[in-house]
Structure 1
Amino acid sequence: MNHTWTYNLSFDAPADPVEPRAGLSRNGHTIVAVFLGFILFFGFLNNLIVLILFCKFKTLRNPVNMLLLNISISDMLVCISGTTLSFASNIHGKWIGGEHGCRWYGFVNSCFGIVSLISLAVLSYERYSTLTLCNKRSADYRKALLAVGGSWIYSLVWTVPPLIGWSSYGIEGAGTSCSVRWSSESAESTSYIICLFIFCLVIPVMVMMYCYGRLLYAVKQVGKIHKNTARKREYHVLFMVITTVICYLVCWIPYGVIALLATFGKPGVVTPVASIIPSILAKSSTVCNPIIYILMNKQVRYVILKLYFPQGTSGLL
């Protein structure tokens, strides 16, 4: 175990050609640290604002917003427990968390990322089931709470195994962050990576594609039919959720492609420089999501105005 860890921290080690052999320059680490500092500050601040608004205003506590809040909480936890370590490591030009810190970093970032993706898949199904029913249903908070709890349990099912022997977490990219050991050649590790991609990327994305494909078809079919105010509000929420999903996939798909190349591509095909850009892009989703909620969610915009201009918000919602 100790021998393996010492090797993983050294990109110059010749024992395994799959591992990167050179990290970033001092200037490269500084540039990455600047981007991560931006993501850390605004990711934490934006999601904290969303969390405060949900706690302060009861009108925001509906089933859809509970799932969005779940994503904000997981994003904020990524900033606190993951991005901080990567930011500090890039300032020092090397990983500073040690072996246990690397396992923690890899685990929490994987766990919170999967929570967000599963929450988006559940949101997709919620929009699909709501908008394809003829009769309006009352808000089901119990199902929303079960979905929130289920997203965390499902994520733990797939992120705990590397901690107990099915694959493992280790240094990745430029040597200042950790994740699943994508480049491991063992059959055990490869089997885990295949399962992880199928159950934590392919299936959730397919669920979202199916739900939104059916929804967009339904919207087209009834496009000429007059919609009441409540129905228009539901469609507005739909487009907000679709925007959130697209943003999430744009941020995370490049990282997934790089991970697949590291796992199944030729040894050394993924360089540290090539891997760091998708990694930063993936982390940037923690900044984007709350901005989408604020810009596209009328309820959130209303309570922000109410917070700062309490006398001038009547009739705006």
Structure 2
Amino acid sequence: MNMTSPAEVMDVDMSDIWRGYPNHSVVDAVLPDMIPWVDPYWYQFPPMNPLWHGILGFFIGCLGLISWCGNGVVIFIFSCTKSLQNPSNILVINLAFSDLFMMVMMCPFMVINSYYETWVFGPLMCQVYAFSGSLFGCASIWTMVCIALDRYNVIVKGLSGEPLTTKRALTWIGLIWAHALVWTLLPMVGWNRYVPEGNMTACGTDYLTKNWFHKSYILIYSIFCYWIPLSVIIYSYSRIVQSVAAHEREMREQAKKMNVASLRSAHTDDVKSEYKLAKIALMTISLWFMAWTPYLVINFAGIFGTMTVTPLVSIWGSVFAKANAIYNPIVYGISHPKYRAALNENFPFLVCGRLVKEEVSESQSQINCDTNAEKS
């Protein structure tokens, strides 16, 4: 099949290209086998400026490279460093795995489609593309929930909480993927469907359908794959910060009763610890909103008709959601002292900024202790 970019076949001058093609639709470049899957809503919009296709292709390509490297390194470090091999970090590995394969499935297709300015892989791969994005996205979200619950169990419940075991961590992961698989298979068997999105270079759920049975899928899906996970994460990290703050207050009061001379130093360290924890929690929730909220707003706008969803708005919402695949290695990996030490040892050129000496020393000390314990 001879696939030619629309910019090469339409006889227009450069001013027309900059404004968009007059008297043409964004659907004009769609291949015949994809036409039945395109919602009539998109026929009202002119083709996007070719420059936007280039920007989108370049941007998603960069996201893919960063995600492949970042998540690949996270999987390698956490899998090969003995001091990091514990049940809690199995969840981190699962998160990195999900994010990695999301971009493996998303990036190449979108880069190529951006070059041709339309979907060129046929209806079947459109289904596979949308299914994969939804599957790995849902799995990542619920893995983040399990990580939050594990931290809540350790920090808030403390000794009264039941430690996470390898068996339980693997059970959680199995349930995560089963849950994600069920929700992402439903559009392929008749509850909603996967269709080309606004600029015709990506595919996703049909949020422009007039059928309320199909609209209900997006509404219920958002409850189980956005609102519930978001609520659990906010609650968990809020309780963690509250618990740490309460603990530090108790420690300061106890230090005062004991007339500890180093109270000021202890107080400063406590404040730093509390601030760091609050900052990580805030970063986690903020990145969640940055990644998924725009796409949710676009879906709801399509369902309820509250705003005009243009092809450009539609595709950028999808891209922001995919960008979450590069945030997680930073939040869950780089903020981990032992991970940073192992990263500095194996890939020192990837360590951004100065690695604090105390951090390396502490992590190396722990690694040495683990090694000595194994030898004995």
Please classify the TM superposition score into its range, dividing by the shorter chain length. 0.7 to 0.9
Match of 2:77 among 44, 49, 53: 53
Deviations 1:231-288 (A, max 9, x none): x99997786465334323321111111111111125x710012222222221211122
Is the alpha carbon distance of 1:221 and 1:277 closer, same or farther for their aligned partners in structure 2, counting shifts above 3 Å? same
**Paired AA for residue 205 in structure 1:** L
Query: Could you tell me which residue of structure 2 aligns to residue 307 of structure 1?
Result: 346
Structure 1, unaligned runs of 5 or more: none
1:119 Cα deviation from its structure 2 partner: 0.9
Is the alpha carbon distance of 1:161 and 1:19 closer, same or farther for their aligned partners in structure 2, counting shifts above 3 Å? farther
- Distance in structure 2 (CA, Å) of the matches to 1:179 and 1:262: 13
Query: Could you tell me which residue of structure 1 aligns to residue 305 of structure 2?
Result: 265
Query: Could you tell me which residue of structure 2 aligns to residue 216 of structure 1?
Result: 241
Contact 1:76 1:286 in 2 (8 A): yes
Query: Could you tell me which residue of structure 1 aligns to residue 156 of structure 2?
Result: 132
Query: Could you tell me which residue of structure 2 aligns to residue 162 of structure 1?
Result: 187
Contact 2:37 2:196 in 1 (8 A): yes
Secondary structure of 2:361's partner?
coil
Query: Could you tell me which residue of structure 2 aligns to residue 176 of structure 1?
Result: 201
Is the alpha carbon distance of 1:215 and 1:76 closer, same or farther for their aligned partners in structure 2, counting shifts above 3 Å? same
- Distance in structure 2 (CA, Å) of the matches to 1:264 and 1:104: 27
Contact 1:22 1:272 in 2 (8 A): no
Contact 2:118 2:200 in 1 (8 A): yes
Deviations 1:163-207 (A, max 9, x none): 111111010121100011111111221111111011111111111
Aligned pairs for 1:1-317 within 5 A: 5-9=34-38, 16-17=40-41, 21-135=45-159, 138-226=163-251, 240=280, 243-266=283-306, 269-307=308-346, 315-317=361-363
**Paired AA for residue 70 in structure 2:** N
1:91 Cα deviation from its structure 2 partner: 1.2
Is the alpha carbon distance of 1:180 and 1:47 closer, same or farther for their aligned partners in structure 2, counting shifts above 3 Å? same
Q: Percent identity?
A: 26
**Paired AA for residue 212 in structure 1:** Y
Q: Which has the higher contact order (CA 8 A, sep 6+)?
A: 1
**Paired AA for residue 315 in structure 2:** I
Is the alpha carbon distance of 1:19 and 1:44 closer, same or farther for their aligned partners in structure 2, counting shifts above 3 Å? farther
Instruction: Name the TM-score, length of structure 1 as normaliser.
Output: 0.86
Greater CA drift, 57-66 or 105-114: 57-66
Contact 1:124 1:241 in 2 (8 A): no
Secondary structure of 1:133's partner?
helix
Greater CA drift, 129-138 or 71-80: 129-138
Is the alpha carbon distance of 1:233 and 1:69 closer, same or farther for their aligned partners in structure 2, counting shifts above 3 Å? farther
* Count of aligned residue pairs for this structure pair: 306
Query: Could you tell me which residue of structure 1 aligns to residue 3 of structure 2?
Result: none
**Paired AA for residue 209 in structure 2:** S
Is the alpha carbon distance of 1:273 and 1:297 closer, same or farther for their aligned partners in structure 2, counting shifts above 3 Å? same
Instruction: Name the TM-score, length of structure 2 as normaliser.
Output: 0.74
- Distance in structure 2 (CA, Å) of the matches to 1:286 and 1:256: 17
Contact 1:67 1:148 in 2 (8 A): yes
Contact 1:302 1:316 in 2 (8 A): no
Deviations 1:34-85 (A, max 9, x none): 1011111111111111111122212212232211211111111011112211
Q: Over the residues paired in the alignment, what is the CA RMSD in angstroms?
A: 2.9
Structure number, greater radius of gyration = 2
Contact 1:20 1:271 in 2 (8 A): no
- Distance in structure 2 (CA, Å) of the matches to 1:124 and 1:149: 17
